[in-house]
Amino acid sequence: LNDITNTMDVLKSFQGKLDLTAYEFFSHQAMDHVRAHADVPAPFESEAPYYALLEFEASNDAVMDSAMELFEHCVEQGWVIDGVISQSETQAMNLWRLREGISESIAPRTPYKNDISVVVSKVPEFLTEIDEVVTTHYPDFEIIWFGHIGDGNLHLNILKPEDLPADEFFAKCVDVNKWVFDIVEKHGGSVSAEHGVGLVKKDYLQYTRSAADIALMKGIKQVFDPKGLMNPGKIFD
């Protein structure tokens, strides 16, 4: 894809005509890490800043014809630079490895992870604002983006510079959290898209839920667990 906003253009085009079973995205930097970590072939000869991975069931020739027409439309609009469709199970697996191998490939770089979400229509603006605020304050931090963009669920991974001590890196990332969650709050998103609040996100719950919401949640907790025996310290103290 030419630009992060094109992820939404392509999604709208395909979603209107095909029954998508998956719509994922990742940055070129993310793909580079996967390919350096594992023997996965590059899907294209050319490079692009972002990639979208679509999955649908081609139950008949008409579905495939429709998919090709949609692809050609996206190219004509300038949203898509290039595309490939799997011709075998092996090729399909390799395409999915480019997305599913990201977390493992960046693990040696001690990534600081954030699991955030926003309504789909706000994804491009949301992602761009976060990218800008992190790179402005910490230009030496490498940002790796990927996620389930089809439902607004994004994974922000900040990689530790090799010459920066881990404790200093994580201290800087606490500052990053404040800027990121301010943007989450601005767009009405969530500080925890799919991995729960638990211990890590409980100090930031107010960015996602109002004081009234949190009071109600605590009230429900009190009804079912008046002695605080169930999973103590999680979400609430």
Indicate whether 1 belongs to any domain. no
Is residue 71 over pLDDT 90? yes
Q: Mean pLDDT across the chain, nearest whole number?
A: 92
What pLDDT is recorded for position 102?
A: 96
* 216 and 187 assigned to the same domain: no
Range of the domain at 74: 6-103
Of 74, 103, 132, the one marking the end of a domain is 103
Q: What is the pLDDT of residues 77-100, one digit of tens each?
A: 999 999 999 999 999 999 999 999
The answer as to whether 168 is a domain residue is yes
Residue 58 reports pLDDT greater than 90: no
For residue 180, give the CATH number of its domain.
3.30.70.2740
pLDDT at 85: 93
Same domain, 66 and 80: yes
Residues 100, 114: Cα–Cα separation, whole Å? 17
- For residue 139, is it within any domain? yes
- Can you give the pLDDT at residue 151? 86
In a domain? residue 161: yes
| In a domain? residue 119 | yes
Identify whether residues 119 and 32 lie together within a single domain: no
* % the chain with pLDDT above 70: 100
Residue 127 has pLDDT above 90, yes or no: no
Same domain, 10 and 98: yes
CATH number of the domain at 44, please: 3.30.70.2190
CATH of the domain at 229: 1.10.45
Residue 189 sits in the same domain as residue 206: no
Specify the pLDDT at position 31: 96
In this predicted structure, the answer to whether residue 194 has a pLDDT above a threshold of 90 is: no
> Is it the case that residue 53 has pLDDT exceeding 90?
yes
- Specify the pLDDT at position 159: 95
Question: Do residues 99 and 129 share a domain?
Answer: no
Q: Within this chain, do residues 234 and 161 fall inside the same structural domain, yes or no?
A: no
Query: Where on the phi/psi map is residue 231: left (φ > 0), alpha (ψ -120 to 50), or beta?
Result: left
Report the pLDDT value the prediction gives residue 105, as an integer from 0 to 100. Answer: 96
DSSP 8-state class, residue 151: G
Query: In this model, does residue 195 exceed pLDDT 90?
Result: no
Q: What is the pLDDT of residue 56?
A: 93
Q: Are residues 205 and 188 in the same domain?
A: no
With respect to residue 36, please indicate whether it lies within any of the assigned structural domains: yes
* One domain, residues 96 and 28: yes
E strand residue ranges, the chain = 20-27, 50-56, 112-117, 142-148, 153-159
- The number of distinct structural domains making up the chain is 3
Question: 219 with 166, same domain?
Answer: no
Query: Considering 87, 103, 119, which residue would you say is the last residue of a domain?
Result: 103
Looking at the structure, tell me whether residues 94 and 15 fall in a common domain: yes
pLDDT at residue 199 in the model = 82
- Per-residue pLDDT reduced to its tens digit, 199-237: 888 888 999 899 999 999 999 999 999 999 998 888 887
Q: Are residues 234 and 185 in the same domain?
A: no
Q: What is the pLDDT of residue 200?
A: 81
In a domain, 15, yes or no: yes
Q: What is the mean pLDDT of residues 143-166?
A: 91
Return the H-helix or E-strand segment holding 184. helix 166-186
Among 103, 122, 139, residue at a domain's last position = 103
CA distance 128 to 33: 21
Residue 150 has pLDDT above 90, yes or no: no
66 lies in a domain?
yes
pLDDT at 197 over 90: no
The structure tokens 């530790």 sit at: 160
